[in-house]
Chain A
Amino acid sequence: MHQSTIDLWYGFSIALQPGNLIWAVVGVLIGNLVGVLPGMGALSTISMLLPLTYPLAPVPAILMLAGVFYGSMYGGAIGAILLNLPSHPPHAVTCLDGYPLTKMGRGGAALGITMMSSFFAASVGIIVMVFLSPALVRVATRFGPAEISSIMLMGLVAGATMSRGSPLKGLAMTVFGLICGTVGTDTTSGVIRLAFGMTDLSDGIELGALCMGLFGVADFIVSVNRLNTSSVRPKVTMKDMRPTGAEIKKSILPMFRGTLIGTLFGALPGTGPTITSFLAYALERRISRNPERFGKGELAGVASPEAASHSKTQMDFIPTMSLGIPGDAIMALLLGALIIKGIQPGPQLISDHPDVFWGLIASFWVGNILLVFLNIPMIGIWVRMLRVPYRFLFPLATFFICIGVYCARNSLFDVGEVAAFGVIGALLLIFDFPVAPIVLGYVLGPLLEENFRRALLLSNGSFLVFVEHPICAVFVSFSVLIAGVQIFSFIRRPPRQKADVSLPTPRFPLR
């Protein structure tokens, strides 16, 4: 513990060197901006900025790229709450309650709460990363494929039940997402699956295209000429950003719970921030005394997932930096940047390159403090973006989505995928299916398949492996429990009355 404090101190001396600090600032600034812009994600931005870092030394390069990542997390929350556009998948769940809050005129307070929980959660994540990093790494290395598959199973079941309305429909969408994840080349056999003869699909469906189609274009399609534009132009000033005492009190506990979930799941390789934020939301809704208020502007539904995704973001760096296992595509990109610099990721990274590891950790804190102070005065700029009427906004957003998705892989085919998923998403919305679980299934699909395959290969095809290992047994029984409670409550519920159907309800696309 004492050693960690010394190392952290050393990290600050690295991060605060002017040459490093300036690049970290550039990174968080760019990240924040692209996070707000609809259709622009951290993934495409980091890919675009990667060539810019070639002339830099390893430390400023990784500080800048990491800054883009967590800067975009702050910016993404702004886009999700004020514009209902999740430019980064973990924020999909923030839209559910953040956007209704904006429509109720409390968007500013929601942003304030988001900043508060993000900063708190990130700080907790950093502290855990500093002091428990070696121990957590030891636990994570003991996980076999069976454990990882059972954790993913629980994430999927929880994600499916999180969606509003029928749990069956949520489950259907999760399975649909898993199917989307199987598209492309099978890693084990090299067979190209479900590509309809299109070679561009051999790399699989592009994550950005999937999200932007389902959450961007599909939403424009179902709301164009149907949306009462007066309701989407809230006024948020710096003063509004200050949540009331009651609002803070309401968010404190969800913030703690979200941070806890993010931290717990953060140490496990293979669970991205999306799953954790979905889980945090599901938990809040489960334990809430009035779950029907979720999706209509409940602050807990903003504070908890945001806290979870931010602490998870920090924790994600543990397996990435110490084991060399990236949790998601962004982490993989950061690892790629390190490899280009001649730094081999793996357990030896912390000892071989302490300047990179500890400098990065210290710069997280510097960057997070910077982001909080940056976002409060700049809120006026983000709000000005909202003053644009919807009839101008959606064509512009369509354009940004097209060009943003194109940027990620320089592929026009990916932009075509956006259109395809726009149509699919619109159809699903018309049939009252929740589209958010698709992303969860899509992200987890390939990882689940790989680990599931490996687990059964090791157990000689016996399913008993999922019950015999104690860690597996716990996660599998949790999954069964969640599913069982859902089915039970579904069977017990009497058919709703007709009056219930015609209740006027607020419009929001992510269900």
Chain B
Amino acid sequence: MRVQRLATRNRLGALLMLVTGAGVATAGWSYHVGTLKAMGAGFMPVILGVFLCLIGFALLVTDRGVDQTNKSHAASVDMRGALCILLGVGAFVILGGLLGLVPASFASVFLSALGDRKNTVRDALYLAIAATLVGVCIFHYGLHLQLPLFSRG
């Protein structure tokens, strides 16, 4: 059962390489490829894309149904944690542009802290307030970061 799952994972990884390689090679083809003597912009992407495809194919063929790296800690990812961390980074991007440094800092720490199941809302709140204060002191007053503390769009 376990071996089977690993095999599926290996094959999915190989397919991912195949698809990525094919995509890059196709995109490269749309630029000017050129010749060996005078390479165009598309030359490298096409070569690299094809090469990645070949590796993906080789991975599929040589897949022996066992995990070559003999470990698999990343086999399952906690969805809540992953989502919260990505939301935290995303909040920094969106709020940084819309509202300024303070809301962006607060939201990024608060949201990503909620990703850990052991953190309560109150923990996250305190952590976010502390991080925002320290961040503002270091980056706004200390290093004169060009992001305003508060802004409106």
Which residues on B sit within 8 Å (CB–CB) of A353?
Answer: none
Given A194-B27, A398-B109, A403-B145: A391 touches B77 (CB 8 Å cut-off): no
Interface residues of A in 190-211 (CB under 8 A from B): 191, 193-194
Chain B nearest Cβ from A166, distance in angstroms:
4
How many inter-chain contacts with C-beta < 8 Å in the A-B complex? 248
Q: Residue A419 at the B interface, CB < 8 A?
A: yes
Chain A nearest Cβ from B97, distance in angstroms:
5
Chain B nearest Cβ from A407, distance in angstroms:
6
Contact of B89 among A225, A396, A415, A453 (CB under 8 A): A415
Are A172 and B52 within 8 A (Cβ)? yes
A96-104, A121-129, A176-184, A474-482 - interface stretch: A176-184
Are B80 and A225 within 8 A (Cβ)? yes
Q: Residue B152 at the A interface, CB < 8 A?
A: no
Chain B nearest Cβ from A173, distance in angstroms:
9
Chain B nearest Cβ from A333, distance in angstroms:
16
Given A398-B112, A412-B96, A461-B37: A419 touches B90 (CB 8 Å cut-off): yes
Chain B nearest Cβ from A72, distance in angstroms:
15
Complex alpha-carbon distance, A193 and B49, angstroms: 13
Are B85 and A191 within 8 A (Cβ)? no
Contact of A461 among B36, B64, B75 (CB under 8 A): B36
Given A179-B48, A394-B85: A194 touches B24 (CB 8 Å cut-off): yes
Closest chain A residue to B117, Cβ basis: A225
Which residues on B sit within 8 Å (CB–CB) of A224?
Answer: 78, 81-82, 84-85, 115-116
Complex alpha-carbon distance, A217 and B87, angstroms: 12
Chain A nearest Cβ from B115, distance in angstroms:
5
Closest chain A residue to B15, Cβ basis: A431
Q: Number of B residues contacting the other chain (C-beta, 8 Å)?
A: 88
Complex alpha-carbon distance, A121 and B40, angstroms: 42
Complex alpha-carbon distance, A433 and B35, angstroms: 33
Interface residues of B in 46-77 (CB under 8 A from A): 48-49, 51-52, 55-56, 58-59, 62, 64-77
Which residues on A sit within 8 Å (CB–CB) of B56?
Answer: 172
Chain A nearest Cβ from B153, distance in angstroms:
13
Which residues on A sit within 8 Å (CB–CB) of B109?
Answer: 395-396, 398-399
Complex alpha-carbon distance, A357 and B85, angstroms: 46
Which residues on B sit within 8 Å (CB–CB) of A179?
Answer: 20, 24, 45, 48-49, 52
Contact of B62 among A168, A416, A453 (CB under 8 A): A168
Which residues on B sit within 8 Å (CB–CB) of A460?
Answer: 37
Which residues on A sit within 8 Å (CB–CB) of B38?
Answer: 457
Complex alpha-carbon distance, A165 and B20, angstroms: 21
Given A172-B52, A225-B116: A398 touches B73 (CB 8 Å cut-off): no
Are A399 and B74 within 8 A (Cβ)? no
Interface residues of A in 206-256 (CB under 8 A from B): 217, 220-226
Complex alpha-carbon distance, A414 and B17, angstroms: 25
Complex alpha-carbon distance, A501 and B5, angstroms: 12
Contact of A415 among B35, B74, B92 (CB under 8 A): B92
Are B66 and A495 within 8 A (Cβ)? yes
Given A179-B45, A223-B73, A396-B131; 9 other pairs, CB 8 A cutoff: A165-B68, A222-B82, A224-B115, A399-B131, A403-B92, A428-B13, A431-B13, A432-B67, A449-B44
A sample of 7 cross-chain residue pairs with beta-carbon separation below 8 angstroms, ordered by A number, consists of A191-B40, A224-B115, A402-B93, A406-B147, A416-B93, A422-B86, A431-B9
CB within 8 Å of B: which residues of A? 48, 164-166, 168-169, 171-172, 175-176, 178-179, 182, 186, 188-189, 191, 193-194, 217, 220-226, 390-392, 394-396, 398-399, 401-403, 406-407, 410, 412-413, 415-416, 418-419, 422-423, 426-433, 445, 449, 453, 456-457, 460-461, 463, 490, 495-496, 498, 500-503, 505, 507, 511
Closest 7 CB pairs of A and B: A224-B81, A431-B13, A165-B69, A461-B37, A461-B36, A191-B41, A395-B113
